[in-house]
Each structure stands twice: as C-alpha cells, then as structure tokens.
Amino acid sequence: MIIQQMKKLLFLLFIFATRSLSGQQADKLNHFFNEKENRWADSVYQSLSQTERIAQLLIVRANNSRENYFPEISQYIQKYGIGGVCYFGSGAMRQAKQNNAWQKISRVPLLTAIDGEWGLGMRLDSTISFPYQMTLGAIENDQLIFEMGKEIGKECKRMGIHMNFAPVVDVNVNPNNPVINSRSFGDNPQKVATKALAFLNGMQSEGILATAKHFPGHGDTDSDSHHTLPVINRSVARMDSVELFPFKKLIANNLSGIMIAHLYIPAYEKEENLASTLSPSIVNGLLRETLKFNGLIVTDALDMEGVTKFVQPGEIEVRALMAGNDLLLLPKDVPKAISSIADALESGRIDSNYFEKNVKKILLYKYRAGLNKKQEIDLRNLIADLNNSKAFALNQSLFEQAIILLKNTQNTLPLLPETTSNTAVLSIGMNSANAFSSMVKNYANLPFFRLPKSFDLAQQEKLKSDLRKYPTLIVALGGTSMFPNRNFGLTSESIQLINELAKSRTVIFTFFGSPLAYREFLKTDSLFASAIIAHQDNEFAARAVAQQLFGALPFRGKLPV
C-alpha cells in the first residue's frame, strides 16, 4: 500500500514538473516574441475549432518525388485546416502554382517546407544545386558558405517556402554511413558546427526557418532510418563531445528549429526499440531541459520505417507530441493522426495546457515567417529569378575553393602548356566531360579520349592502343554518387583500368567524387603522380579543375574527413 502511494506521488510530481517546465518554456517563448505577434497567435488560436488546432501541428506530404500532388491535400486543408505541407521532387513553376492554389483555400496560411540541403535543386527542376555539405566541408572560407545560405534563403522566399530542413549537422564519423555521408560537413565536430552555423545564419538572415538535423546525431550509423531503426551504442560522454557538439553551438546562436531523428540510443532511452522521435527523455529531457532549446522541434518523417516498424500511425503522432515535439512531419494517416490526438486530449493523456502552448508556439513562428498575411507567389520571371547570375557565380566560387590537391609528389602540377605535347586526357563516365574539355582547351590543345561508365573488353583494348603514344595522362573519373551501398557509383572495370594505366605512365588522377569514395583508390594511389578530389561531377567542378591543372587557380580545399 505504501509503495503504491509512493508511486502515485512520484507520478504526480512528474506531471507537475512537466507542466511547470511547459509553463517556463512558454514564458521564455513569450519574451522572445513581441506583443503584436502574441496577440495574433492568441486571436487565431481562439478562432480555431479543436480539430483545426490539432491540424496546425501537422506538416503533410504534398507529393511523392516526381509524381502528381496528392488530391486529398485540398480536402485536408478545407476539412481539418492542416498546418502546412512539405514539397518533394517536382518542377519549380508547377510547385508555385500548386502552392498558390492551396494557400488560397487555407484559412490560416500554410507553413510550407522543403528538404533543400544543397538548395532548391535538391528537389526542384529548373533551379540551382549548390555543393553537397561534404564539399562545403573542404572550404576554409566560411563567409562563402554564409553567402550560399543567404542565396538559398532568397530562393526559398521567392518560392513561398518558409522552412528548410537544413543544415545537416550530423558528424559523419562512420565512413559506411548509408544515409548521411556526403550530406555531412565532415567528421570533425568543431568544423561541422562552424560551417553549419554559417549556413543557417545565411538562411535565417532572409527570414527562413532553418532546421538543424538529425538530433541527437545520425552520423555514426551503418543503417538507414528510412528502412529500419538504427541503433547507436555510444556513451553519454561520447554523444556529448561528438554528436551533440554542433547542436549545442547552434542552439547558442538562435537556431530556429531542430529535427529529431529516428534512432534507438540506449544511453538515453531504456525502452527497447523506442525511436528518439518518441522518447520524452531525449526530446523533452535532453533537448528542452538539458540543452535549453526553445525553438521549433520537428519530427523526422513519421512515415519512415524507422518509426513505423514498432509503433502504429495515430499512436505515433500521440507519442511524438507527448515526447515534446512541436511539428509532426509527414504523418502516414492524416485523419487517424487527428482523431488519435483528439482522443488523447479528451482522455487527459495529452495535457490540454501543454497542447495549447504547442499550437500557439507554431502560430507564433508562422507570424515570424510572415504568415500573418495571405501569401501568393508571383509567377512572373520566376525561373529567371531562381537562376540569377550572382547565384551561378557563387556556385562556381564554392567549387573553386573546395577542390583538393591530395598529392603532387612528382611536382607534375601545374602543367605548362608548352610541355604538354605528349599529354592526353581520358574521361571515364563523366557527366561534365564537355565542360571539362572546353576549359582545358583554353590552355592547351590536348587530345581527348572518352569511355562510358561501363565498357567492354574491346573498348578497353582499343583505348589502350590509342593511348600508347602518350606518356602522360590526365585521367578524369566521373559518374559517381554519394551512396556507399552502391559503391559510390564506381565500377570495378574503371578502377582496374586506371590502376593499370598508372603503372606504365605518368597519371594525373582527377576524381569527380567524394573523399569517402576515394577510399577505393587508397591502396593504389601511390601509382599516381598527382591526385585531385573534385567532390562532384558537374560543370562547376569541371571548369574549376581544368583551370587548377594549369595553375590559373590555386588548390585551396582541405579534406573534410
């Protein structure tokens, strides 16, 4: 009997502490927002039905990549009053038109979001793709990264996007990470934090809600949370010094939002296979209480198997809200999510005061994003504005600063045009071969030979015969990818051919792939006279490398891993 009374007392104390904490956080939030913003949020909240208040918590999937927008979104807006939508792969003009149509029928303007880690080009046709974050990790000039964040912010604003789920601040300490890898700035917590801060400061200077991810850190996994629940078996001390380091720095510098990962971390959560997204000890405990984060907390996509594998839709959203999340991203079943939260509120499972503060918090951030007014994207000159010359020049500068001269043991570089009469260029699988060859020809009229990504023995033997009279080769390997489970897009025949050529002549190896992918050559790179890591196979990297080969530009990049 005494034990039962003690348990009841402890439970009541926990509830009281949780509610007190929520009140403290609301007070801090009210100090952060001005009186006008608070009045607007209170007024809108009072005008909403209970269903509409619940729906404000939901950011719904607008479409699957490269597929039509879901027709039921209009119904969700009109019937429930959903809080926002998240867009995936499509065309810029198409998305703008759809966004205008949905905003027009939404009583409370929609918060629109996108995964734009390397800009709108990550999701939208006819827009610019800036460098991957690991490419940025090789740049020493962080002001350029700030300028990139600012430009991405401007482009988001032009597209009517309010929240960008970027930057990725995972410290990629596991080179076999299948889901983060080149999306990370690197494996050094301090550098990751510094570069992420430059990126988010740029975006936030344009009024975009930056969202650092994936808390408490997805960099030390060898499985993909899209398909399973990764387990991180690291100590609290290790997590604090590595994974949490960038988050702590960003929290101290006015970060708007944080996305919670689907991870199982026994050091923080004792319930087996409970995703961090649903863990009160991680969201409310670690992030809110310990790290003092009072910004928007967003779940990772709630339709991912990292969370749906162990908990059902409906219950997922209830537990995510109870854990301390503010925005529920991509619920798998929208009507089920709303009805389940309604039931939990009615039964008292979700505290009504806590719920009210959550909804008002979202409304406050909507005001801060300009959503106190109806918004419409001006379609005139949209594509031209998103592809402005300043953005292209910035992109070129970023790649010029990122490319790494990994080795130059024989002082082969820079090449002198007058000494290249016995030099040829071989490109293998390159997407940007034309941009590369055009720029090289500005310095020397070298013969060019090309092979596709996959080639047969007859093609290989003919190439060897053609190259016999050239003792020096610039070998450019492209067609790479960021996925280690696909061997980074590398083929065994390409690797073998390059190594074989390097045994019999001077090879300047230019690798249009990531430093993580270059590991495939570590055992044999002693064969190369010079080796260059160009990170990505695109026209910006191709033009930069061609100039660097001849000394027109210096190599400035540093290894990020």
- The residues annotated with a catalytic role in the active site are 226, 300
* Residue 43 and residue 35 in contact, taking contact as beta carbons nearer than 8 Å: no
What are the beta bridge partners of residue 114? Answer: 87, 164
What end-to-end distance do the CA atoms of the chain give, in Å?
Answer: 59
| DSSP-derived secondary structure letter, 283 | I
Number of H helices, E strands in the chain: 20, 16
Cα(509)–Cα(195) distance, integer angstroms: 28
Neighbours of 190 (CB within 10 A): 12
Q: Distance between CA 331 and CA 336 in Å, rounded?
A: 9
Beta bridge partners of 404: 533
Which residues contact residue 511 at a Cβ distance below 8 angstroms, ignoring those fewer than 6 apart? 477, 480, 517, 518, 521, 531, 532, 533, 534
**CB-based contact 157:202 (threshold 8 Å):** no
DSSP, residue by residue, 67-129 = SPBPTHHHHIIIII--SEEEE-SEEHHHHHHHHHHHHHH-SSPPEEEE--BTBGGGTEETS--
What gap in Å lies between CA 166 and CA 187, rounded to an integer? 18
Q: Are 317 and 341 in contact (CB under 8 A)?
A: yes
